[in-house]
Amino acid sequence: MTTDAPLSFDEMNLASLRLRAAIVAASDDYFAEKDNLLKPSDAVFLPEEYTDRGKWMDGWESRRKRTPGHDWALVRLGVPGVVHGVCIDTAFFRGNFPSHASLEGCAAPSDASEAVLRSSDTDWVEILPKSVLRGDSKNLFKIESPFAFSHVRLNIFPDGGVARLRVHGSAVPDFHRLGHLHGEADLASAELGADVILASDMFFGERRNLIMPDRALHMGDGWETRRRRGPGSDWAILALAARGTVERVLVDTHHFKGNFPDTCSIDVCDARGATAASLARSDLWRPLLAPTRLQADTRHWFEAELTPAGPVTHARLNVFPDGGVSRLRLYGSVTGIDRKDLGLRRLNTRLGSVAEEQLFACAGSRTWARAMADRRPFASLDALYDAARLAWSTTTESDWREAILTHPRIGETPSQHASSSAWSRQEQARALEATDAKAALAEMNRAYEARFGMRYIVCASGKSAAELVSLAEARLANDPGKELRVVGDELYKITRLRLDKLLEP
């Protein structure tokens, strides 16, 4: 949507080449290459520059369409995220810009091929309806969608040229594909969701360069302030990718030789949900690294020099009095509860169909999964758990019987949904390792199914084969109605455990 008020976007450009965004495919780029769309610099115009195909243009330009349809470009975002604003820049395209454009988003694996992305199985969601473009202009559009997308499709009508595409939003990394957050992680990594939200100055170098992947390509690929002529010092404030304890620090002045800071220090604070105004308060911050001299073009590692600060959410890099730093790395660990908070955000921003399938893997009940997907977003972990319990209280015997069929027999190798199969193996780990108990487990399953006409369901986590057999023997005395209610309770115990596993990156 657009508004009458002037728009500007200060959030991370998720389509940045420095974040490894890429053009997967385009319908046509006869006059100017599709890859130009994601260049980090603004477009330039060279009046006398021509190629054997026509006028050289610094952007993406398709040929004049003589058949029905429209042109498009598929973009893989550098980091999946919730999109809040888009800039479709038609700089220097005056008689050859598209009359309209639209934008769609999808959630797919980062390595999805063009064939997968264009397949009917991929669920594309319109996030910008067909909208009028102006030539030689930065066309800004506010986006209102709660979902995190991995790819976007820019549609132009019917053809023409677009210089640059910027997709601004907040990163929601898929930690299940990146690996995990157990052990050490760079809490200042843009790829993991960190952001540089404020800086005192960035005359020569953009603040977010500090947290981009890899080492800086050149001096312009770092954060650099102008020469300070008055009192004070420069600084940059980071929102960390996750609340965690910083244990190692790297301050890299790569390429900065005559313009590196004389000294730096780092402060941290634990201020989840803090505003820019509150972060300006000095009483929030506590020292992590005392003022320390820097050298030119050098990687500075700090570990023993750090003051223990406990779990923190933000960091402030101070440079004295000014100058350039190419990269900042803050390596640390994330606690279990904070990892689950990241998983909750991911669940909240999943497309409805994807969220429902993931929740179904937890419970095996379509009714419960649909109710939970519809209740999003959950404000906290407690709100999620309360909703899970309430949604389960509305399930019926038919829902329980549906869920029973998604669980393997105790002692048998799972073969269902990929996630639920892995979870079943974990839950039955003690029972499955007791090879000498397989005959007893098989006999128990036969007796139980002969008595009740359904599979034996029990929350098996941490229980041995002998314990599972003993519990089944005790339950054989139940009447069928009571036993089905017991099964319903056991199914919820399993669901609750799996919900935590779903959240764990």
pLDDT tens per residue across all 505 residues of the chain: 444 446 778 999 999 999 999 999 999 999 999 999 999 999 999 999 999 999 999 999 999 999 999 999 999 999 999 999 999 999 999 999 999 999 999 999 999 999 999 999 999 999 999 999 999 999 999 999 999 999 999 999 999 999 999 999 999 998 866 666 778 999 999 999 999 999 999 999 999 999 999 999 999 999 999 999 999 999 999 999 999 999 999 999 999 999 999 999 999 999 988 888 889 777 899 999 999 999 999 999 999 999 999 999 999 999 999 999 999 999 999 988 999 999 999 999 999 999 999 999 999 999 999 999 999 999 999 999 999 999 999 999 999 999 999 998 887 766 555 566 778 877 777 666 666 677 888 999 999 999 999 999 999 888 888 899 999 999 999 999 999 999 999 999 999 999 999 998 6
Residue 90 and residue 58 in contact, taking contact as beta carbons nearer than 8 Å: no
Is the sign of the CA dihedral 371, 376, 379, 385 positive or negative? positive
**Structure confidence by residue, pLDDT tens digits, 201-236:** 999 999 999 999 999 999 999 999 999 999 999 999
Under 8 Å between Cβ of 172 and 12:
no
In the chain the domains, ranked by start, together with CATH numbers, are 12-170 (2.60.120.260), 185-335 (2.60.120.260), 351-503 (1.10.3330.10)
Q: 281-307: string of b/e by CB count within 10 Å (b at 16+)?
A: eeebbeebbeeeebeeeeebebeeebe
Quick: pLDDT tens for 132-159. Answer: 999 999 999 999 999 999 999 999 999 9
Determine how many CB atoms are found less than 10 A away from the CB of residue 236. 24
Instruction: State phi, psi for 470 to the nearest 5 degrees.
Output: -65, -40
